[in-house]
Amino acid sequence: MEIVPYQEEHRIFRASFRRFLEKEIVPHVDQWEEDGIVPRWAWKKLGDNGFLCTSVSPEYGGQGADFLYSAILIEEMAKANFYGLSARLHGDVVVPYIVQLASEEQKKKYLPGCISGDLLTAIAMSEPQTGSDLAGIQTTAVEDGDFFILNGQKTFISNGINCDLVIVAAKDPREANPHAAVDLFLAEAETPGFVKGKRLNKIGWRSQDTAELFFADCRIPKKNRLGKKGTGFKNLMTNLQQERLICTIGAQTAAEFMLEETIRYCKSRQLFGKPLTGFQNTQFVLAEMAAEVRIGRTFVDKMIVEHWQKNTVVIDVSMAKFWITEMAWRVADRCLQLFGGYGYCEEYPIARAWRDIRITRILAGTNEIMKVIIAKAITS
């Protein structure tokens, strides 16, 4: 019995997206991994086929679809063993801030391009000296007439090279309360003083363009502040439930993919005259992983339903993000071990899957931060 109540239209959407990936995306992945970036035409094809920002209202060119469509997109991309095309960040992490906080003028200006793939987004929170501690950011936003002047540096920014529009977290240096000091700003890539730095050379997620961003006396119109003054930190916290759930869904599906690939390999790989699945050690390892993966699916599906129903499940999602990403890493490492030397070769999908899953224990708040959140909730 399925926990998530997918309807026929969801199943049709899933099949359509899977075919799209197989035809338009997967054949190019190896080249993109080598290049370190996904070309803009791939984003445009996603938009042209209705696979970007599915939740945005038809008023702005979207479909007004529910969160289950987003879950499907995340799962199918993970099954394709590819994370370079960060559509989930664009459509389900960044664009919701515009939908929730931007003025009507800004929504009409930006959302149609976000949906079509003509305008790509990023969110700039992390800094060289500040990761999970968002109240500790050093980038400043100082009022100057009808503008804010931004100064600072951001790092680990996904979509950092391709982005056209960035949501920047910056603080008012005159505000003593570090939480009340934070605001969010919309910065267009062509704004003077906004400079994209080098593309970071990462271990995994190689084709996802991750970069440093610099702001030097960058003048942002006052109307580009998202939300009321001093609400930036609160707004970031409010949206982290969805961001962490998205990370969790991807990690869970990746674990399922890796297990399926490994079972298939172990059935075909011969050793001492019999398949690897004929050895008790292999059987036990596969059985243990299968149990953990099944538990993870039950947990994440429950979270998908809770979030889809618009329930506040911050603590449960923190638990899911921590446990499932740790589980997915264990599965990746044990699967690669079963592949032996072949698992360390790029021609086998497990190699990329092993590299790519590691970052999920850091994304959307490190798992150490997840434990802090959980501990505070259960001991207060």
Catalytic residues: 243
Query: Tokens 């399922």 belong to which residue?
Result: 256
For 149, the token pair is 């002047």
- Whether 181 contacts 223, CB under 8 Å: no
Contacts of residue 185, defined as CB under 8 A and 6 or more positions apart, other chains included, come to 141, 148, 150, 167, 168, 170, 220, 224, 225, 226
Q: Which amino acid is at 41?
A: W
Quote the CA–CA distance of 303 and 257 in Å, as a whole number.
20
Q: At what angle do helices 314-339 and 349-357 cross, to 10 degrees?
A: 150
Contacts of residue 245, defined as CB under 8 A and 6 or more positions apart, other chains included, come to 300, 303, 304, 307, 317, 320, 321
Strand 121-124 versus strand 165-171 pairing type: parallel
Quote the CA–CA distance of 252 and 264 in Å, as a whole number.
19
Quote the CA–CA distance of 7 and 210 in Å, as a whole number.
36
Cβ neighbour number for residue 116 with a 10 Å cutoff: 17
